[in-house]
Amino acid sequence: MRESDRTAALLEVFAAEQRALEASGRPASVAAPGLHVPTVSLLHADGTQVASDDLFANKPTVIVFYRGSWCPYCNMALRAYEKNLFPALRARGVQLIAISPQTPEGSVASRDDNELGFTVVSDPGNQLAAAFGILTAPSTEALGAQLSLGLDLREANADGTVGLPMPTVAIVDEERIVRWIDVQPNYAKRTEPGDILDAVNQTTRTPGRADSTPGLESVTSRMSELAQALGVKSCLVMRSESDSMVVAATAGAGADFYRIGDAGPKAATGDAEVPLYCERVVDSGDAVFIRDSRNDEVFAGNADEVEFGLTNYFGLPVRNTLGEVVGTVCVLDDSARDYDDRARHELEALRSDVEAIIAQDPSALSG
């Protein structure tokens, strides 16, 4: 048989398998929203074990089930998710985790070959795939075609079987409850990033969406992560005007009421008698920490306390290349609390990022 004829015959085997999968449709076994993700042992790409409880704990998660690094459709999908999904999920405080039954070495190939920034783990024995009702296996003809091409699933899979998950995306909340699931029985098709984001917006209890001027978009992921890590209501980058403080970037639940371009009048130039938190940072050029404004003789009754109930504040000055204070980075919360050295270091790192941006583009704070 000529090589071209052999190739055509192999392609027809896979095409026939895809047609059969398409005709079969979504299996009745697929888990419905409400499933509690079971506790199973997974493998990181370096081979270390991690419990699913720990992997999905305390953070909404988008799970992507894929077949393996050997699957070209999987690789195309993972690259698309890296580019068009992962950044948006990070900005929302949602993690992205890709799961396959392959060996850790296969996970390394998936991660490195596709330049993925999100977590990739192995599910030996397809424990989660079975729990989600999406476990399948190639047809006998497809297995033979794979072997003729040098792929032995028994070697690629961590447990020595040929079981595979149907390509599936699921959204799991902080309590490890499935809130949304989409299954593609035909492995040549995948869930679109836009559909996943729409589902995330509708189903997850995430903090308010991060937003920023175009010049500060690169720091919104860090801001969302900082707000979540510290457990604060809001993380902001503010621009200082002569008469007001203006929101340039916002993340955390406070993004619902701190919107880009919103301005708070400074007490020094307006009718307000109590200064804004950030106003004091700009005027002093120093860090300002307010444990509880209600007990502070200077800041009691300030606008953030009265309008939004945010009585706790920690902020740092942002300087331009001339050393002038042009804004602030800050976090706010609705309960009295302190900030340890790690928290202060993280806020200082955010400030450094912002200052590096405005050193290159002084208009970044303004849009």
**pLDDT, tens digit (0-9, with 9 covering 90-100), for 327-342:** 999 999 989 999 999 9
DSSP 3-state assignment of 27? coil
Phi, then psi, of 332 in degrees rounded to 5: -135, 150
**CA separation for the pair 266, 243 (Å, rounded):** 5
- The string of pLDDT tens digits covering residues 281-332 is 999 999 999 999 999 999 999 989 888 889 999 999 999 999 999 999 999 9
Tell me the pLDDT tens digit for each residue of 186-240.
Answer: 999 999 999 998 898 778 644 456 889 999 999 999 999 899 889 898 999 999 9
Query: For residue 20, which amino acid is it?
Result: A
Give bridge partners of residue 164 from the DSSP assignment: 136
Check: CB of residue 332 under 8 Å from CB of residue 277.
yes
Cα–Cα dist 188/192, whole Å: 13
DSSP reduced 3-state for 100: strand
Specify the 3-state DSSP secondary structure of 55.
Answer: helix
pTM here is: 0.59
Nearest to 9 by CA among 103, 149, 195, 120: 149
Angle at 217 between CA 346 and CA 365, to 5 degrees: 85
How would residue 272 be classed by pLDDT, with cut points 50, 70 and 90? Answer: low
HSE of 255, CA atoms in CB hemisphere, 13 A: 23
Residue 145: the pLDDT is 86
Give the helix ranges, DSSP H, for 149-262: 153-156, 193-203, 220-230
Query: Residue 196 is encoded by which pair of tokens?
Result: 């996943």
Read off the pLDDT of residues 82-113 as tens digits, 9 standing for 90 and up: 999 998 888 777 899 999 999 999 999 999 99
Contact of 63 with 170, CB cutoff 8 Å: yes
Specify whether the CB–CB gap between 47 and 169 falls below 8 A: no
- State which amino acid sits at residue 104: P
pLDDT tens per residue across span 43-67: 999 999 999 999 987 789 999 999 9
Instruction: Tell me what pLDDT residue 228 has.
Output: 87
In this structure, what are the phi and psi dihedrals at residue 136, rounded to the nearest 5 degrees? -145, -170
DSSP label of 124: G
Q: How far apart are CA 313 and CA 332, in angstroms?
A: 5
> Rounded to an integer, what distance in angstroms lies between the CA atom of residue 311 and that of residue 288?
13
What mean pLDDT is predicted for residues 148-174?
Answer: 93
Inter-residue contact 107 to 72 (CB < 8 Å): no
Per-residue model confidence (pLDDT) at position 94: 87
**Residues comprising the chain, all counted:** 367
Q: What is the mean pLDDT of residues 169-175?
A: 92
The Cα-based distances of 240 to 236, 273, 342, 346, 354 in angstroms read 13, 18, 27, 22, 14
Three-class SS of residue 294?
helix
The one-letter amino acid code at 352 reads S
Tell me what pLDDT residue 312 has: 96
